[in-house]
Amino acid sequence: MSNIILGIESSCDDTSAAVVKDCILLSNVIASQKVHEAYGGVVPELASRAHQQNIVPVVSEAIRQAGISKSQISAIAFTRGPGLPGSLHVGTSFAKGLALALGVPLIDVNHLHGHVLAHFIKDDENTPVPQFPFLCLLISGGNSQIIKVNSPGDMEILGQTIDDAAGEAFDKCAKIMGLPYPGGPVIDRLAKDGDPDRFKFAKPHISDFNYSFSGLKTSFLYTLRDAVKQDPDFVANNICDLAASLQKTIIDILMDKFAKAIKQTGIKTIAIAGGVSANSAIRNAVEDYARRHRITAFIPKRAFTTDNAAMIAVAGHFKFLDHQFMDISEPPFSRVSI
């Protein structure tokens, strides 16, 4: 029998609901919160208020677009953490209330598992999905991790950032150049017209498969500070080359450790996930690596790189198969590892 899972995501500043039937996507509705743009980052209090406003219409619309009735829903999956506490509370409370009202199981999903399992969102039965185990580079505003995915519920972190995440490196360097938040997509766009070899920035030397991006940020800041002393218009006159060189440095750092992990584990299926996996250069770099080494790469659709409830519903699908349900009295977790 088919399982129909309603997923709810509210960990940060996107309110999203999605319906999947045996991992085949029936709907995925996202209400993004524009209110934060004026502040240069997400304001937690405003985020939870906006979730309160959005959650009922977003869930109703996801059910409507899926063409199902509420009585067909097998279970409710929701993001339990990590994320902003106030934002998580909205999704958690709503998911509990709806599960109680419909008399269906409640499934808690780790948001990071959701990003990794986004590769199992299917258009139809023929959509290819990764074979286990696979290696996933999870790169977002809060994480940079190399994960060995043994099964939907068994993920091992092989390496991770010891300071800033890759997305933070994009966003903080964009801010230094006076670009708007989030800076990652802006840098990606500007880099297309720039020379990636024009400027050199510091790369970290740290052990194992771990990452560090704080040294790069400092090196970027000092390069610009010194250059602006000579030419006040330096940033404006070189913006595309700066964006391209910065992007190349971040991608080189990411790929260096990812390639080492692929070689050492001998795993032949790789994937990328998280907000930064929308970046054109990392997508090209991973595809190119896979082609050269004759391995299989999974690159997510851009819609599934940022926060979305489809990935939560799919992660919920796997837990549903294992009867891993959550007790209605348990709270969300703002901090939790993979």
Residues making contact with ligand KG4 (CB under 6 A) = 12, 140-142, 167, 170-171, 182-185, 188, 274-276, 278-279, 306-307
Location of structure tokens 């010194």: 226
Helix (H), strand (E) at residue 159: strand 154-160
CB of 245 to ligand KG4, least distance (A): 14
3-state helix, strand and coil shares in percent for the chain, rounded to the nearest 5: 50, 20, 30
Taking every pair of Cα atoms in the chain, the longest distance, rounded to a whole number of angstroms, is 70
* Nearer to ligand KG4 (CB atom), residue 79 or residue 279: 279
Q: How far is CA 296 from the centre of its chain?
A: 20
* Nearer to ligand KG4 (CB atom), residue 116 or residue 158: 116
CB of 306 to ligand KG4, least distance (A): 4
Q: Which residues does residue 14 pair with via DSSP β-bridges, in sequence order?
A: 32
* Nearer to ligand KG4 (CB atom), residue 184 or residue 316: 184
CB of 120 to ligand KG4, least distance (A): 17
* Nearer to ligand KG4 (CB atom), residue 121 or residue 278: 278
* Nearer to ligand KG4 (CB atom), residue 171 or residue 241: 171
- Burial-class residue 119 by CB neighbours within 10 Å (0-12, 13-18, 19+): buried
* Nearer to ligand KG4 (CB atom), residue 74 or residue 143: 143
* Nearer to ligand KG4 (CB atom), residue 66 or residue 168: 168
Q: How many CA atoms lie within 13 A of 90 on its CB side?
A: 29
- Distance CA(194)–CA(198), nearest Å, equals 9
- Distance CA(166)–CA(285), nearest Å, equals 15
Report the candidate in 335, 292, 295 with the shortest Cα–Cα distance to residue 82: 335
Peptide bond into 128 cis (omega under 30): no
Report the candidate in 45, 25, 82, 92 with the shortest Cα–Cα distance to residue 313: 25
CB of 8 to ligand KG4, least distance (A): 17
Report the candidate in 140, 135, 128, 75 with the shortest Cα–Cα distance to residue 314: 75
CB of 291 to ligand KG4, least distance (A): 21
CB of 170 to ligand KG4, least distance (A): 5
* Nearer to ligand KG4 (CB atom), residue 275 or residue 316: 275
CB of 105 to ligand KG4, least distance (A): 27
CB of 335 to ligand KG4, least distance (A): 14
Handedness of CA 194, 196, 201, 204 (dihedral sign): positive
